[in-house]
Amino acid sequence: MPLVARHARQPREQTREQLNIAKDKKVTLISFGGFGLQEFDFSPLAKLDDWVFITERDLSTPAPNILSLINGHYSYPDLVAAADVIVTKPGYGIVSEAIANQRAVLYTSRGDFPEEPLLIEGLQRYTRCREISNHKLRSGDWHDALEALLDPARRRGYTPHGWCRYNCPTSCSAAWKVCMNKHDLQSIFTLLLDHFGPRNWWPAESPFEVLVGAILTQNTAWRNVEQAIENLEQAGALQPQTMARIELGELEKLIRPSGFYRQKAARLHAITRLLCTRYADDIAQLCAGSLEDARERLLALRGVGPPETADAILLYAAERPSFVVDAYTLRLFNRLGLLSASEAYEQVRARFMAELPHDVELFNEYHALIVAQCKDICRKQKPRCPICPLEHRCPRAHTI
């Protein structure tokens, strides 16, 4: 179905002048049609002095930068053209006019609306857009998302086929189609990043410390790993040559807080001795070659253990793009309906590897955001659904 739009009848500067909006102000049009705004908290918007917010609804929040135009004297296409950003729920009319006037769109899901994916697809192809959770929308927490839409450094790449968060090369004729086919995983990443911000993982001082942490974290909480690493650091044993020479019994004592310390001490001894004798203490050499060859090499080592450890070493220590799947990943995406409970580690990893750009920074950030989401919000018991940035996408929200 084609989209039909109305163009503005007058220049945007003229509309702004009629509304007494200063030239240096950024303008947001709040467009929700028949949706009520009673549950919205607009008080945070009143603090954004460099923004002006326009709505055709009567709001109870008095503020000099919030204009309630309830007299109907202004053409709606003129208001669309006068805005820098439109905040809305996707509908045929507003999507058409945003595209026709090349306005940026900050949108949230309408829920059970069959045409919504197609409308979002159109926005992502033809203009700048960004999704915001229902919780952030209602609480007035819009500032970062609005600024991101207007900041050239944060818009990422533009291809002939549309805006792409992951800088698909403009020479790739299928760039936009590739991104749109992977909409679910990428849009979830965007929502988590907007909610939590960059996590700056892995918490380690060196690639070797990452390797040690990846082995110690097997079957235990990270706080226990931190205690074991602190013991190793105080003993001067966080260097490959030192750890390879230390007595096995002494190593067991140092890493005891991490649990399964005898097994883990043997694994650490084995891998550090191999690292020293065959790879010149260099994890990059250990993980050299094609990604799959490096992964197979790690999985074959007695000191590495499960695939999650191998992928953590590749991603965080060697900076190779190998997605790390853990129990948090399985929990979150199972609840979102994107994975089934029967899928094994390799199946889940294969999907992320196939549907996301192979980018170390992206994989690093995504895994860290999943951990933050599941530790703080999507908990195993008593998840905090009301504050979840994925609440509107989760079929199991408020049911656990």
Most confident option among 54-58, 189-193, 230-234: 230-234
Boundary of a domain, candidates 278, 302, 317: 317
pLDDT value, residue 235: 93
Same domain, 118 and 213: no
Same domain, 140 and 29: yes
pLDDT at 116 over 70: yes
Q: Tokens for 181?
A: 């086919």
Report if residue 296 sits inside a domain.
Answer: yes
Overall average pLDDT of the 65-76 stretch: 79
Domain containing 51 — which CATH number? 3.40.50.2000
pLDDT value, residue 169: 37
Angle at 264 between CA 263 and CA 265, to 5 degrees: 95
pLDDT at 244 over 70: yes
Q: Average per-residue pLDDT in the chain?
A: 84
Report if residue 339 sits inside a domain.
Answer: no
E strand residue ranges, 59-201: 66-68, 85-88, 104-107, 129-131, 157-159, 162-164
191: enclosing H helix or E strand: helix 183-196
Q: Structural domain of residue 296, as residue ranges?
A: 207-317
Which tops the pLDDT comparison, 156 or 119?
119
pLDDT at 175 over 80: no
Overall average pLDDT of the 111-118 stretch: 81
User: What's the domain count of the chain?
Assistant: 2
Report if residue 329 sits inside a domain.
Answer: no
Q: Full-prediction pTM beyond 0.75?
A: no
Domain containing 257 — which CATH number? 1.10.340.30
Same domain, 29 and 138: yes
pLDDT at 390 over 50: yes
Q: In whole angstroms, what is the distance from residue 71 CA to residue 18 CA?
A: 14
Report if residue 348 sits inside a domain.
Answer: no
Q: In whole angstroms, what is the distance from residue 350 CA to residue 82 CA?
A: 45
End-to-end CA distance of the chain: 39
- pLDDT band for position 232 (cuts 50, 70, 90): very high
pLDDT value, residue 178: 33
Same domain, 65 and 133: yes
Same domain, 63 and 137: yes
Boundary of a domain, candidates 269, 294, 317: 317
Q: Tokens for 180?
A: 């749109």
